[in-house]
Chains A and B, each alone.
Chain A
C-alpha cells in the first residue's frame, strides 16, 4: 500500500511542479510578492490585452492586470494624444478605457508624475506592450492607486479614414474645376513646348554660340565699370562732382530759354525745352 501511495504522490507532485513551470513560462506574477498598482486611462487602447507586458526603459517590470471602461468626470480630459488619435468630443470623452497596471516597486522609483505611458508594438508577432518613459526627478513620485493619463497610440483606421476624406475632397475639387485645370494644363503644355523650341533654337543657333561669349564678356566688363562708377559716386570724388553739377544747374537756371536755344543752335544742336 505504501508503494502505491508513494507512486500516486510522486505523480501528483510532478503535476504540481508542472503547473509552477507553466506559470513561470507564461509570466504569471507571484501572488505573494508585493506589486505597485497604477490606473492609466486612454481613449484608445490600441489592442492591448490583459497580461500584456509593461516596460520601463525597455525592461519588463509588470503587466496589465485589468481593462475596464471608465466613466470619466466632466473635468477630466485626456490631453496628451499622438497625431491620428481620437479627437476630444462630448461622446467619446465620457467613456475612455482604464488599465490597471501592476509594477515591480523597484522599477516604480523611476516613474514620475510626468512619465509617459505609450502603447507600443514589438517583436515578430506584433506583441502590444506599455512603455513607460522615466519622468523628471523634480516631479512627484507615483504612489499605489495613482490615476495617470496614457498617451493614445496612433489610430491607423482613423488615419486611413482621414486619407480617404482628403482624397475625396481632392477628387471633388478636380471635378468642380475641370475646365480651369484642363486649360491650365494646356497652357503649361504650350509653355513647355515654346520653351523647348527656344532652347532648341539657342542650342542650334551659330550666332548665339559665337556671340554668346562676347556678350557675356561685355556684360561682365559693363557691370565692373558700373560697379567702379557707383563706388566713385559714393566716394569723395563723387561728392565733389555732384557739387559741381549742382553749381552748374544753379548758374543755368537764371538764363532765358531763348538764350539757351540760341546757344545750342549756334553749336548745331537741336534741343526742345519744356
Chain B
C-alpha cells in the first residue's frame, strides 16, 4: 500500500505539468456525484453542529463568566476556523472515501484495472485524477457552504440568548477575518484531496474477494480519517504562525 501511495504522490506533479491527461468529463461527473451528492448530508450535519456549539458556548460562558456577551464572536470564530471545516471533511471521508475505495477495490479484484491498462488507459488518469480534482474543488466549496449554513444556524440559536441577527453578525465580524475564511477553504481543499489519494492507494492494493473489499474499505476510511485529523493539526499550527 505504501508503495502505491508513493507512486501516486510521485505521479501527481507529472500530471499537473501535463494537462492532456486531464479528463474534463469524468471530473465534472465526479464533482456532481461526490461533491453535490454530499451537499445534503454535510449541510444537515453542520447545521446541527452549529446549533449545539452555540448552545454549549452560551451555557459554559453563563456558567463560568456569568455573561453571554462573547457568544457570537467565539462561536463564529470556532465555526469558521474549525467546526465547519473538520466536520465536512470527516463526513466526506466516510461518504466519498468509502464509496471510492469500494469502487476501486471491486474493479481491482474483478481485473477491470488491468483491462484499462490493456486498453492503453492509465488507471490513475481515469480513476484518480478526475476524483482528486473534483474532491479538491468540492472540499473547498462544501467548506464554504457549510460555514455559511453553520453560521446561519448559530445566528438563529443566538436569538435564544437575545442576540438579534445584525447584532450577532456585527460581533462575529469583529472576530472573523477574511483570512480565516481563506484558510478554511485551503484546509477543506487539502482534506478533500487526501480522500481520493488514500482511497485509490488502498483500492489499488485490494486482494481477496468481497471480504477483501470490505476490509480495504474499512482500512481506507480509518486511514483517511487519521490523515484528516493529523493534517488538521499541522495546518492549524502552520496558520497560527502566519
List the interface of chain A (C-beta within 8 A of B): 1, 3-8, 10-12, 14-15, 17-19, 21-23, 25-28, 51, 123-125, 127
The residue that B172 contacts in the complex, of A1, A25, A123, A127, with Cβ under 8 A, is: A25
- The chain B residue sitting closest to A23, CB to CB, is B178
Q: Indicate if the CB atoms of B32 and A5 lie closer than 8 Å.
A: yes
B155 nearest CB across to chain A (Å): 10
B173 proximal to A (CB < 8 A): yes
Q: Please indicate the chain B residues that have their CB under 8 angstroms from the CB of A3 in the complex.
A: 32
Rank and list the top 8 A-B pairs by shortest CB-CB distance, nearest first. A15-B141, A4-B32, A7-B36, A18-B144, A7-B32, A8-B31, A18-B148, A15-B144
Contact of B33 among A4, A12, A26, A123 (CB under 8 A): A4
What 1/0 flags go to B165-198 for Cβ under 8 Å of A? 0000101111111100100000000000000000
- Number of interchain pairs (Cβ within 8 Å): 80
- Are B172 and A11 in touch, CB under 8 angstroms? no
Chain A at the B interface: mostly helix, strand, loop or mixed?
helix
Q: Which B residues have a C-beta under 8 Å from some C-beta of A?
A: 25, 28-29, 31-33, 35-37, 39, 69-70, 73, 137-138, 140-142, 144-145, 147-148, 151, 169, 171-178, 181
Of the candidates A14, A15, A21, A124, the one whose C-beta lies within 8 Å of that of B70 is A124
Contact B36 A15 (CB under 8 A): no
Q: Which of A4, A6, A17, A51 has the most CB of B within 10 A?
A: A4
Assess the B32–A22 pair: CB atoms within 8 A. Answer: no
CB–CB B141/A12 < 8 A: yes
Assess A12 versus B147: contact at CB under 8 Å? Given A22-B181, A25-B172.
no
A127 → B minimal CB distance (Å) = 5
Query: Can you give 7 contacting A-B residue pairs, CB < 8 Å?
Result: A4-B32, A8-B31, A11-B31, A15-B140, A22-B148, A22-B181, A26-B176
A28: chain B residues at CB < 8 Å are: 178
Closest to A13 in B: B141
Q: Which residue of A lies closest to B180 (CB)?
A: A26
Contacting residues, chain A, for B174 (C-beta < 8 A): 123, 125, 127
**Inter-chain contacts of B141 with A (CB < 8 A):** 11-12, 14-15
Q: How far is the CA of A125 from the CA of B74 in the complex (A)?
A: 11
Closest beta carbon of chain A to B202's beta carbon, Å: 26
Residue of A nearest to B176 (CB): A26
Output the least CB separation between A18 and chain B (Å): 4
Residues of the A chain whose Cβ atoms lie less than 8 Å from the Cβ of B176: 22, 25-26
Q: Name the residue among A3, A7, A10, A11 with the largest chain B CB count within 10 angstroms.
A: A11
Chain A residues with CB under 8 A of B25 = 1
Determine how close the nearest CB of chain B comes to the CB of A58; give it in whole angstroms.
14
Q: Across the interface, name the chain B residue whose C-beta is closest to A8.
A: B31
Q: Which residues of B contact A21 (CB under 8 A)?
A: 148
List the B side residues contacting A7 at CB < 8 Å: 31-32, 35-37
Chain A: minimal CB distance from B30 (Å): 9
Take A11-B39, A12-B141, A26-B176 as given contacts and tell me if A5 and B28 are in contact as well, using a CB distance cutoff of 8 Å: yes
Q: Do A8 and B145 touch (CB < 8 A)?
A: no
Measured between C-beta atoms, what is the minimum distance from A85 to chain B in Å? 26
